[in-house]
């Protein structure tokens, strides 16, 4: 972190405000002999949004995601909205992150109508689902229609809400993103889509953070902070238990500001973000921006939602 002087001083907000688009992303985990690993995808360097950065699978919430309650198992819109502290429509975020996980990484967390988990280990099933994925990404097959045709339901029983970040004012695209954690489905192979993403890897959070600090592994600021929040856990179960234990998720909306000729990312310091346990790297990536210094600004409980 970069701290200068004894206070925040006069700050100039960069650029004008755009309304953030609802989005969802999922930290997909699996256990290994050296502790758990997390799935990360590298975005195409030619992408007009954070090209080259390593990200979690995720994306914008589609209109169709809000009409998928009949195709989910284990959670109602009422329960999902309560968890996300929304009036209605919370289920769409859960649906969106599992849809994006399938589209971007080829993993489908699903079950049949009796609640039996499906793993797609049969070669014919694997080939058929791969063809479905290509069609969905090409826009010739609707994801929910695919679920209908396969007589499957999105299995939301193990999907846990863990964080809420809003893109700061400044970048030309802004997202209001809910972060979830999930155990990767057994027997399925994660693969990038060779379009929006060009590489996939399973990595321990501590290794990703170390490589990022050395300038070898580019990540966005929220990605870094979410990895820091769970890096000290030793297993997938511990991460999921941590997420379940969170009673209220603080909305984090950083600010990109100019101070003394330098662009700085300001974030609130709260108990949930564990600022003392997880040190923020001195330089991070923000959407359509280069590197920024970072500093944390303490806020009172009454200001946490700003």
135, with CB counted inside 10 A (0-12, 13-18, 19+), is middle
pLDDT of residue 66 exceeding 80, the answer is: yes
Residue 303 resides in a domain? no
Beta-strand relationship, 37-43 and 21-30: antiparallel
pLDDT at 220 over 50: yes
Does 149 have pLDDT greater than 90? yes
Tell me if 110 is assigned to some domain.
yes
pTM of full prediction above 0.85: no
* Phi, psi dihedral angles at 49 (to 5 degrees): -130, 115
14 in a domain, yes or no? Answer: no
pLDDT given at position 221: 87
Query: How many separate domains does the chain show?
Result: 1
Rounded mean pLDDT of the chain? 83
Q: CA 259, CA 2: separation in Å to the nearest integer?
A: 12
Identify the burial level of 125 via C-beta atoms within 10 angstroms of its C-beta, where 0-12 means exposed, 13-18 middle and 19 or more buried.
middle
More confident site: 4 or 138:
138
Is 287 inside a domain boundary? no
Structural domain includes residue 278: no
Q: Is the pLDDT of residue 9 over 90?
A: no
- Residue 129: CATH number of its domain: 3.90.79.10
- Domain-embedded: residue 280: no
Residues 202 and 36: beta-carbon distance below 8 Å: no
Q: With respect to residue 306, please indicate whether it lies within any of the assigned structural domains.
A: no
- Greater confidence (231 vs 278) lies with 231
Nearest CA to 290 out of 215, 229, 227 is that of: 215
- Which residue segment(s) compose the domain that 80 sits in? 19-250
Q: Is 302 domain-assigned? A: no
Instruction: Write the pLDDT tens digit of every residue in 281-293.
Output: 433 444 434 333 3
């Amino acid at each position: 972190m970069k701290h200068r002087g004894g206070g925040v001083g006069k700050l100039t907000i960069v650029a004008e405000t755009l309304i953030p688009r609802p989005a969802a992303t999922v930290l997909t985990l699996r256990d290994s002999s050296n502790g758990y690993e997390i799935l990360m995808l590298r975005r195409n360097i030619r992408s007009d949004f954070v090209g080259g950065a390593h990200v979690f699978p995720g994306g914008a919430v589609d209109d169709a995601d809000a009409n998928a309650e009949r195709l989910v198992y284990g959670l109602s819109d009422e329960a999902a909205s309560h968890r996300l502290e929304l009036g209605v429509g919370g289920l769409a975020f859960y649906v969106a992150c599992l849809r994006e996980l399938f589209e971007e990484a080829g993993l489908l967390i699903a079950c049949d109508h009796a609640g039996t988990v499906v793993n797609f280990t049969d070669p014919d099933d694997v080939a058929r689902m791969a063809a479905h994925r290509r069609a969905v990404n090409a826009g010739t097959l609707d994801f929910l229609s695919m679920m209908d045709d396969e007589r499957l339901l999105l299995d939301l029983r193990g999907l846990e809400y863990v964080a809420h970040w809003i893109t700061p004012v400044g970048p030309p695209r802004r997202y209001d993103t809910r972060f979830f954690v999930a155990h990767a489905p057994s027997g399925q192979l994660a693969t990038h889509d060779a379009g929006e993403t060009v590489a996939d890897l399973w990595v321990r959070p501590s290794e990703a953070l170390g490589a990022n600090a050395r300038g070898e592994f580019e990540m966005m600021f929220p990605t870094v902070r979410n990895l820091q929040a769970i890096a000290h856990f030793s297993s997938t179960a511990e991460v999921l238990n941590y997420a379940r234990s969170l009673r209220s998720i603080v909305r984090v909306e950083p600010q990109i500001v100019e101070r003394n000729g330098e662009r700085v990312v300001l974030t609130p310091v709260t108990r949930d973000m564990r600022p003392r346990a997880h040190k923020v790297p001195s330089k991070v990536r923000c959407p359509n921006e280069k590197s920024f210094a970072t500093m944390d600004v303490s806020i009172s409980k009454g200001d946490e939602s700003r």
